[in-house]
Structure 1
Amino acid sequence: MKIKLINTLFFLIGVAFVTAQDNCSTFYPMNEGVSMEYTNYNKKGKIEGVSNYKVIEANHSGDTTTATMSINLKDNKGKDVYSTSYNLTCKDNMVTLDYESLLPTEMMEQYGDMDIEISGNDIEIPNSLSVGQNLKDANVAMKISMSGINMNMTVDMTNRKVEKKESVTTSAGTYDCFVLYSENRSKMMMVDQVYPSRVWLAEGVGMVKQETYKKNGEVMSSTLLTAHSK
């Protein structure tokens, strides 16, 4: 249960940077109908699954835009792993991601007999990025209680910064990207692990590539944009 929960949250943190362009947001999709397909690979470069994203609702009110993104993940055999949705808000040249809505419905149903408390700070992405720029830390914390037993888990994204610009080519095309680095620390019970990560973002397109590493720098998992529709 611990491993599944940690893997689910880290996967969502990585793919939470799915992006596209509209009048408010440079990087996050805020237009209904925008869809993206991502292929997920393990450390050996073998396909682990495919995730599909789609903006299913968008609302514009004054200087604020909100959107709801649906996610469907299938394994390498095409079997549904989970489906969920999360919320985005764009205001004052900043996009924020609602962390609480990142938790998959199926996972929450699995722990339906437990009391769950969720808290944290949203991920923030400015509409304007530049090399060398530092970004605000983010985190999510969960407290799960059942029959008098408590299980606490936290995931912290720290040392977030824009490292460089780099061109990336996938089956969906070639893109000029900003490379965002972060250190993701998970704590559950007595287990404390750190996974550095990089995300490649292209204006008007979104997340093109994502890699998570071991402490020694070896790639542990990766994700590539394989289809995109506006």
Structure 2
Amino acid sequence: MKALIILIVLFITTPLLAQNNCSKYYASKPGRKLIHKVYDKRERHSMTTEYNVESANASGIQMNFNLWDKRGEHITGGKLALGCNNRTTYLAPESIMTDLLSQYEDMEYTVTTTDRLAIPNHLEIGQNLPDASASINLNAQILAINFDIVLSNRKVIRKEQIETPAGIFDCFVITYDNEMRGSLASRNYKCTDWIAEGIGMVKQETYKENGRLMSRSLLNEVTDF
């Protein structure tokens, strides 16, 4: 069955308050659409993701998302609700791991977020960011699989201007450890995110423990309606 990732935050105020309460390093402009292309370790296009900002208020941002495989066939879609508080945007760790969760679109699964991923409005080089974690339970009919996702050692390491098919962006670069702790196996990855004002994720790279590239995501298109 299709993946279901829905977080509900319901408070009604004005979009202007949302701009003041949410982090500027995440897309919060209603009508903004972001399209990313995901590439595998051989730099082959493996998936396309699309995020649309549906609405925003002082409590959070409502987004729609869709995933397509390399052939353009729709994998899954749904809604995301991101919380905002004290000029910080909070999202569940699994919401930035759609390439992982897309593997389980034919299974039932539930996600329990322990610590949401925080993207503050103020960033500076050398800044340490709080950890984030979530638990995922998969039901594969004859087998139940449980594992935890822990994003730790998040640190802002530099500022960098990068060029993408969507344009040139001034980004903060954040590195972190992505640990998957499961009952059957555990894996550790090293990740690097490039985030830009008004956009959020512009580029992401995930590496295995041996330093080999596992996947790369790159912003391909930004449109406003």
The TM tier, using the shorter chain, reads 0.7 to 0.9
Q: Which residue of 2 aligns with 1:170?
A: 164
Deviation at 1:143, TM superposition (A): 4.0
Deviation at 1:145, TM superposition (A): 6.7
Note if 1:46 corresponds to 2:40. Answer: no
Of 8, 19, 23, the match for 1:22: 19
Query: In structure 2, how many angstroms separate the alpha carbons of the residues matched to 1:140 and 1:40?
Result: 23
Give the AA of the match of 1:219: L
Matches within 5 A, 1:1-230: 22-24=19-21, 25-58=23-56, 60=57, 64-98=58-92, 110-111=107-108, 116=110, 118-144=112-138, 151-230=145-224
What RMSD in Å do the two structures reach over aligned CA positions? 2.9
Query: In structure 1, how many angstroms separate the alpha carbons of the residues matched to 2:169 and 2:141?
Result: 51
Query: In structure 2, how many angstroms separate the alpha carbons of the residues matched to 1:48 and 1:188?
Result: 25
Contact 1:94 1:124 in 2 (8 A): yes
Contact 1:84 1:105 in 2 (8 A): no
The TM-score normalised by the length of structure 1 is 0.79
Number of matched residues? 205
Query: In structure 1, how many angstroms separate the alpha carbons of the residues matched to 2:140 and 2:164?
Result: 45
Determine helix, strand or coil for the equivalent of 1:22. Answer: helix
Query: In structure 1, how many angstroms separate the alpha carbons of the residues matched to 2:95 and 2:166?
Result: 28
Q: Which moved more, 1:149-158 or 1:187-196?
A: 149-158
Q: Which moved more, 1:158-167 or 1:199-208?
A: 199-208
Query: In structure 2, how many angstroms separate the alpha carbons of the residues matched to 1:138 and 1:72?
Result: 24
Contact 1:30 1:65 in 2 (8 A): no
Q: Percent identity?
A: 31
Query: In structure 2, how many angstroms separate the alpha carbons of the residues matched to 1:110 and 1:39?
Result: 24
Contact 2:65 2:79 in 1 (8 A): yes
- Uncovered stretches (5+) of structure 1, i.e. residues with no partner: 10-20
Give the AA of the match of 1:221: S
Task: Describe the superposition over 1:112-147 as per-residue Cα deviations: whole angstroms up to 9, x where unpaired.
Answer: 7xxx57242110111010000000000001345788
Give the direction of change, closer, same or farther, for the CA distance of 1:168–1:133 in structure 2 (3 Å limit): same
Query: In structure 1, how many angstroms separate the alpha carbons of the residues matched to 2:111 and 2:120?
Result: 29
Task: Describe the superposition over 1:78-119 as per-residue Cα deviations: whole angstroms up to 9, x where unpaired.
Answer: 00111122111211121111458788799587327xxx5724
Give the AA of the match of 1:165: K
Contact 2:148 2:182 in 1 (8 A): yes
Segments ≥4 residues shifted beyond 6 Å: 100-106, 145-149
Give the AA of the match of 1:42: D
Query: In structure 2, how many angstroms separate the alpha carbons of the residues matched to 1:69 and 1:141?
Result: 22
The TM-score normalised by the length of structure 2 is 0.80
Give the direction of change, closer, same or farther, for the CA distance of 1:98–1:184 in structure 2 (3 Å limit): closer
Query: In structure 1, how many angstroms separate the alpha carbons of the residues matched to 2:188 and 2:205?
Result: 14
- Uncovered stretches (5+) of structure 2, i.e. residues with no partner: 6-17
